[in-house]
Every structure is written in structure tokens, then in C-alpha cells.
């Protein structure tokens, strides 16, 4: 359940930033979005990554190009299925937690492009 703990902390953080969390764990075959939130008029798709220790790299380093491509695909599917269009204002980001899910260092990384 450590993934669920990290996602719960991430959701609380996004709410504290004033965002409305729309859904958690949106799944399509081959992809998933951990959190979908609304930041004003912008939909934000958030991947949550946690690493208890840096032995195998940081939480940010665990995000691969393949994971980003799958995330982008899932975000597009969400837009089309839930809103019937793919031209809504949106962005992707990664929220990392380095250390324990409840006390580790939390960082929000916007993704460009």
C-alpha cells in the first residue's frame, strides 16, 4: 500500500495548493494517470513517484521516457473519453516523494512540451 500512501499525500498537497482533485488512478489499457486535478481552467495530470531511499536513484530519476509517453497517452484518452475533445488546456507534471510517503521530501516537477 505504499503507493496508495504516497498518492494520498500527493492528493492532500494538491488540495492545499487550491486544486480540485477530479479523479485518482484513471486507467486505460497500457497506461494510468495517478491524479487528475483542476488548477483553475487547466486540467493537470500528475504522476506520483516515491522512493524510500536513494539506493537506486531519486524518485524523479525513476520516471522513464516510456512512462512519460504512457502518461501522455492516458491523458489524451481521458480528455477524449471524459470531455469528448482533446484541445482543452492541460499540462503534465510529476510529484516526487524522496523518503517515507508521509514525511519524505515532496517536489512538484512541471513537464515541458
Helix (H, G, I), strand (E, B) or coil at 82: helix
Q: What pTM value is reported for the model?
A: 0.93
Determine the structural domain holding residue 65 and report its residue range.
2-110
Q: Which residues contact 103 (CB under 8 A, 6 or more apart)?
A: none
In this prediction, residue 112 carries a pLDDT of 77
Q: What is the mean pLDDT of residues 92-112?
A: 94
Taking phi first (over 0 means left), then psi (-120 to 50 degrees means alpha), and beta for anything else, what does residue 76 get?
alpha
Query: The CATH number of the domain where 58 resides is what?
Result: 3.40.1350.10
Grid cell for residue 6: 504516497
For residues 36 and 22, is the Cβ–Cβ distance under 8 A? yes
**How many domains does the chain divide into?**
1
Say whether pLDDT at 1 is over 60.
no
pLDDT tens digits for range 2-58: 689 999 999 999 999 999 999 999 999 988 999 999 999 999 999 999 998 878 889
Amino acid at each position: 500500500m505504499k503507493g496508495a500512501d504516497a498518492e494520498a499525500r500527493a492528493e492532500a498537497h494538491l488540495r492545499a495548493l487550491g486544486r480540485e482533485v477530479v479523479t485518482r488512478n484513471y486507467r486505460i489499457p497500457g497506461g494510468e494517470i495517478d491524479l487528475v486535478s483542476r488548477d483553475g481552467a487547466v486540467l493537470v495530470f500528475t504522476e506520483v513517484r516515491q522512493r524510500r531511499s536513494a539506493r537506486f536513484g531519486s524518485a524523479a530519476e525513476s520516471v522513464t521516457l516510456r512512462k512519460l509517453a504512457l502518461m501522455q497517452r492516458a491523458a489524451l484518452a481521458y480528455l477524449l473519453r471524459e470531455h469528448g475533445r482533446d484541445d482543452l488546456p492541460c499540462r503534465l507534471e510529476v510529484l516526487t516523494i524522496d523518503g517515507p510517503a508521509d514525511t519524505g521530501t515532496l517536489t512538484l516537477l512541471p513537464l515541458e512540451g
